[in-house]
Amino acid sequence: MLDLDYHKERLFKGFYWPLFRTALMVSLLGLLAIYSGSSGLASNFAVKQLLWLGIAVAALFTVVWLGYRTFLSFAYPMYVVSILMLLFVMFLGSIRLGAQRWIHLGPLAIQPSEFAKIATILMLAHYLGERARNRYQTKRFLVAFFIVAFPMLLILEQPDLGTALIFMPILFCILFLWGVRLRYLFITAGLGLVSMPVFWFALKEYQKKRLLVFLNPNIDPLGAGYTAIQSKIAVGSGGLFGKGYLHGTQIKLNFLPEHHTDFIFCVVAEEWGFLGSLCVLLLFALLFMKMLRVIERTSDTRARLIAAGVVSMIFFQVLVNIGMTVGLMPITGLPLPFFSYGGSSLVSMFVAVGLLISIYKERSIF
């Protein structure tokens, strides 16, 4: 009985319920959108996503119970395992839609790149958090850059440009909060801009087309530009109040591909309208406010770096996903966190939130 009370106190004392409730609310709204977006498909994605949500919530509580310090102590082996899983995917992974990103474990399909982001955040926090910021900054910066470069290059090879690019804002935000000299970040960003012509020739042909149709979707309206055009039609046709739940014509008639995954926000915009979309955006804003509070509530450098990495990862995924659905960013194939269909993405997001809740529980300022 005493052991049970101890474990309950360890898990629930100081638990950051507002963050958990907000993340769960976003996921449940996503579940409604997935149900609507997949009701015309042969497979019931909503039921699968509900099962994944149960696994994700269990993973969150497990992370909170173990504590973020436990994960930091295993940061190096977790990072190595993530690299090995990405290598495994490169040679033996399952191929879908021309991309080799998944490992099949019986009925489950795992996407290692989603968990590689968490492992990389922990690795960066562990490495930088143990080192003084006023010494050997060039060395620290280069090591941090190579920590990110390994998984990033392996994910680019799958190919998955969108997920690979998320590693850069993670790196920049963690380095900025750690206290790296700003000139390192400006120089890196400048080199990135200068190398864009070289980077262009390294892109796959379909990736080049995506960038070109971002500038002008009408250059290939029935090919590479089709999804971009249909996405904007779906968003615009929702109007102020939307067409009503389960009544989205662009979705029901399958004019828009991948509307239960990458373009799930189009379901929201078409069926729930501008006001419904605004509510979802405000809910995400509330989620980020709760996450940022975690950074304010701890003096542990490594914990602050973890929180910065998690917030930047989720924020930029939301920004890019919603941006591409309304035509403000190129199509990259990034899921909308907590919202899009996908077990690996959902579990990794709840693991990330679990780390933040653990940090909040063990805050050292108050």
Q: What is the pTM of this model?
A: 0.91
**Average pLDDT score over residue span 92-112:** 74
Alpha carbon distances (Å) from 76 to 67, 243, 331, 340? 17, 50, 33, 30
Q: How many CB atoms lie within 10 A of CB 50?
A: 15
Residue 10 maps to a domain: no
Residue 3 maps to a domain: no
- The domain total for the chain is 1
Is the peptide bond prior to 159 cis by the omega test (within 30 degrees of 0)? Answer: yes
Residue 200 has pLDDT above 60, yes or no: yes
CB 225 within 8 A of CB 330: no
Which tens digits make up the pLDDT trace of 217-273?
A: 777 666 667 777 888 888 888 888 888 888 877 776 677 777 777 888 988 898 888
Residue 5 maps to a domain: no
Give the integer Cα–Cα distance in Å for 8 and 2.
10
Residue 245: its H or E element? none
- Confidence at 124, pLDDT banded by 50, 70, 90: very high
Q: Is 180 helix (H, G, I), strand (E, B) or coil?
A: coil
Give the integer Cα–Cα distance in Å for 101 and 86.
8
Residue 73 maps to a domain: yes
Give the integer Cα–Cα distance in Å for 322 and 216.
19
Residue 1 maps to a domain: no
**Average pLDDT score over residue span 182-190:** 89
Cα dihedral sign, 257-103-305-188: negative
Provide the pLDDT for residue 103.
Answer: 81
**Average pLDDT score over residue span 329-344:** 87
Residue 11 maps to a domain: no
Residue 6 maps to a domain: no
pLDDT more than 90, % of the chain: 44
Provide the pLDDT for residue 290.
Answer: 94
Q: Is 292 helix (H, G, I), strand (E, B) or coil?
A: helix
CB 291 within 8 A of CB 337: no
Which tens digits make up the pLDDT trace of 12-71?
A: 777 899 999 999 999 999 999 988 877 655 458 888 899 999 999 999 999 999 999 999
Q: What single letter denotes the amino acid at residue 194?
A: V
Tokens 């399909």 locate to 109
Provide the pLDDT for residue 251.
Answer: 72
Domain that holds residue 307: 17-361
